[in-house]
Homo-oligomer: A and B are copies of this chain.
Amino acid sequence: MARNKHPEETVRLILDVAFRLFMEKGYEHTSIQDIIDHLGGLSKGAIYHHFKSKEDILVAVTDQMTAESNQMLADIRDSSGLSGREKLKRIFKESISRPVQDDIFTVAPDFHNNPKLLFSLLHDTIEEAAPNYIVPIIKQGISDGSIKTDYPEQLAELILLAANVWMNPMIFDSSVEESYRKFMIFGQMMQGFGLDVVDDEMLERLKELAFIYEKNR
């Protein structure tokens, strides 16, 4: 492949190829050389010009997924005709229903060896997702009477920390049974806050994801 004069095109190509390879072979079994081999002649130097390491590529792939997830969150936050509580429930439903989740759970990068990735997820969750998407919804819920709390920012953080980090089998390597149990405790926690957002359909889907993950490890 000729040296691309548009660096953003090169980056997109690298990420597309890397994502596909991570899917097919798993992150651990994909090398930088594998990625280069599938880029049709791009030099090692060219790839290292954009990414310092394979982990950097994974972070960029993850960032891309996060951007898509944020779009979904923004759409629900800005939708009309739903109470704050209904929006929260919609978010949990859509988060675990999106087909891309199957892919993420297929890649199943081993966070145990990727402190940087874990850190990036934790940072996105607390610094971005909570204040930009969940807090406005909780505040709407306080206004419309569907959510009761004096601390919307902290409630948003705690909910997302549990849902995105603790319940993420990529981070804590949960079995199907453990994922189910975590979800039950999560539902109980939400009920403790007066938020009845978990239903049987969500439970079924979560079991499905945990199963996909376990199969691909």
Residues of A within 8 A of B (CB): 115-116, 118-119, 122, 126, 149-151, 153-155, 157-158, 161-162, 165-166, 172, 178, 181-182, 184-186, 188-189, 191-193
* Residues of the B chain whose Cβ atoms lie less than 8 Å from the Cβ of A191: 192
* Residues of the B chain whose Cβ atoms lie less than 8 Å from the Cβ of A178: 153-154
Whether B154 and A181, one on each chain, are in contact in the complex, defined by CB atoms closer than 8 angstroms, is: yes
Whether A155 and B185, one on each chain, are in contact in the complex, defined by CB atoms closer than 8 angstroms, is: yes
Number of copies of this protein chain within its complex? 2
* Residues of the B chain whose Cβ atoms lie less than 8 Å from the Cβ of A165: 161
Whether B182 and A154, one on each chain, are in contact in the complex, defined by CB atoms closer than 8 angstroms, is: yes
| Cα(A186)–Cα(B166), bound, Å | 16
Whether B184 and A150, one on each chain, are in contact in the complex, defined by CB atoms closer than 8 angstroms, is: yes
* Residues of the B chain whose Cβ atoms lie less than 8 Å from the Cβ of A162: 158, 161
Helix, strand, loop or mixed for chain A's interface? helix
Measured CB to CB, the closest approach of chain B to A148, in angstroms, equals 10
| Cα(A115)–Cα(B122), bound, Å | 10
Query: Which residue, A118, A122, A154, has most C-beta atoms of chain B within 10 A?
Result: A154
Query: Which residue, A116, A182, A185, has most C-beta atoms of chain B within 10 A?
Result: A185
| Cα(A189)–Cα(B116), bound, Å | 29
| Cα(A116)–Cα(B116), bound, Å | 8
Measured CB to CB, the closest approach of chain B to A192, in angstroms, equals 2
Whether A193 and B184, one on each chain, are in contact in the complex, defined by CB atoms closer than 8 angstroms, is: no
Residue of chain B at shortest CB distance from A191: B192
Residue of chain B at shortest CB distance from A127: B172
Given known contacts A115-B116, A115-B118, A192-B191, is B158 in contact with A185 (CB within 8 Å)? yes
8 pairs of residues in contact across A and B, judged by CB atoms under 8 Å: A115-B115, A115-B118, A118-B119, A149-B185, A151-B181, A154-B184, A155-B185, A161-B161
Residue of chain B at shortest CB distance from A194: B192
* Residues of the B chain whose Cβ atoms lie less than 8 Å from the Cβ of A126: 172
